[in-house]
Structure 1
């Protein structure tokens, strides 16, 4: 969780010279090169189902990465991460079997309402006029992709040994973002006094996100019950708010912090309640 949020925070300075889509494409491309070099995945002999799962994981990973980067460019990190976390929460609620689980959905909805209604109170990036509508839309789109990511990572991790499946999916993700990212990336690199510091920064950020955290998440899902994993990951909105405060100096208001707390509690409650 800290690797993910630090990767996002350190990506933000790259948005200005490279654009959000350019920085995201270069980050995924660098991650793909690193993972392909380390794993050298073998595709021969793989079933179509396994390859399709890895490809779909790459598509949703690209969507999640691109949409969340766009959201963080327009919203405070804690706010964007909390809305994005509605994806895993929706997965937990989907496995709920009792009507009482509606309480957790209502609590999460109340938390998001606090975040959106009270805008950027406390000095976030949105200013006093409230949250950016485009940023909110991108955060909700990232949430939808996050739900798919959770469901597919477990399948890909079981079908491929080591991190071969991750290498394939990140490569697909880089190819998916290429059409929207290659232009801004080349423009930013050509305008820079020296492109090498930018490329080194991209490579460093790519290790923080997605290489290290995605590898750790896939390893964790192989060794922990999905319910336990989901409870632990429920803390991610709070981690995002902390990293946003320390790294980007984004101070959230009381209402926003209460909203984040509601979503974290709802996620833990829904995950525990989904026990069979």
Structure 2
């Protein structure tokens, strides 16, 4: 997932972040539609409209996240984005553990924002916007799952979102004259959406929800490592402490609980 995000950062030099997010959407929808070929039932009535809303919210979340990535290090943007699912968890629980987890995550976000606010206020705002959209994604994903749509719902939703957000394709001009850039752009959708989604299903079947939740809590660390190795993004000490606080809070929240879905 985050190697795909690193590839997206490379593309920002020639294509604006929102247009790269649209290319990701295009790549994911083409692969998923070709693979799943959803039946007529998935394109009708309540099922269709729910899948479409799910896809659009996910797509706009990705646009906000890529705009944040354009202005912030990868690990920092991911840590800030985790505010969304933690807030959803906190509103759905009154346990002391969840309140403590929320306070730790908020503390981590304050540390990160204190480092980044002056230099990239817009980046922080985009990351927090992605967090709010991730919260909406979680709520919608549960409804999609309750209808038994699964990957078919994702394919339909992404297809609809790709069409509705097609004005963003205006910024993709250089990609269509370079096969390599096109492969990278569409490949981001495969790396960051299709492959992680399928792997999630495999991991969940083999390890169970508690172990999966613990692994999910390590995503900010994974993103920080990828940012360091691939993009040479070195976090400052307060930033690293903020990311660590978010990870500890996530670990507290997800231990022995059903994990929240990861962002697509």
SS in 1 for 2:255: helix
Which of 86, 98, 102 is residue 99 of structure 2 equivalent to?
A: 102
Matched, 1:214 2:197: yes
Which of 117, 124, 132 is residue 136 of structure 1 equivalent to?
A: 124
Q: Counterpart in 1 of 2:262? A: none
Mean Cα deviation higher: 76-85 or 19-28: 19-28
Q: Which runs of 5+ in 1 are unaligned?
A: 120-128
Would you say how many aligned residue pairs link Structure 1 and Structure 2?
258
Kept after mapping to 2: 8 A contact 1:96/1:273 = no
Kept after mapping to 1: 8 A contact 2:210/2:256 = no
SS in 1 for 2:75: helix
Distance 1:34 1:66 in 2: 20
Q: Counterpart in 1 of 2:139? A: 151
SS in 2 for 1:18: coil
Distance 1:15 1:234 in 2: 28
**CA shift in 2, pair 1:135/1:60, >3 Å:** same
Q: Counterpart in 2 of 1:163? A: 151
Provide TM-score, normalisation by structure 2: 0.87
Q: Counterpart in 2 of 1:184? A: 171
Distance 1:146 1:243 in 2: 21
Distance 1:47 1:5 in 2: 34
CA offset at residue 154 of structure 1?
A: 3.7
Kept after mapping to 2: 8 A contact 1:157/1:222 = no
Q: Counterpart in 2 of 1:239? A: 222
Matched, 1:203 2:186: yes
**CA shift in 2, pair 1:131/1:274, >3 Å:** farther
Alignment of 1:43-58 (within 5 A): 43-44=40-41, 48-58=45-55
Cα deviation code 1:189-230 (max 9, x no counterpart): 46xxx4222111222222102211133345656787666543
Kept after mapping to 1: 8 A contact 2:74/2:223 = yes
Cα deviation code 1:114-148 (max 9, x no counterpart): 111123xxxxxxxxx94411111110011011122
CA offset at residue 26 of structure 1?
A: 1.7
Q: Counterpart in 1 of 2:252? A: 269
Matched, 1:68 2:65: yes
Kept after mapping to 1: 8 A contact 2:84/2:134 = yes
Distance 2:126 2:224 in 1: 18
Which of 11, 16, 31 is residue 14 of structure 1 equivalent to?
A: 11
CA offset at residue 103 of structure 1?
A: 2.3
CA offset at residue 80 of structure 1?
A: 0.5
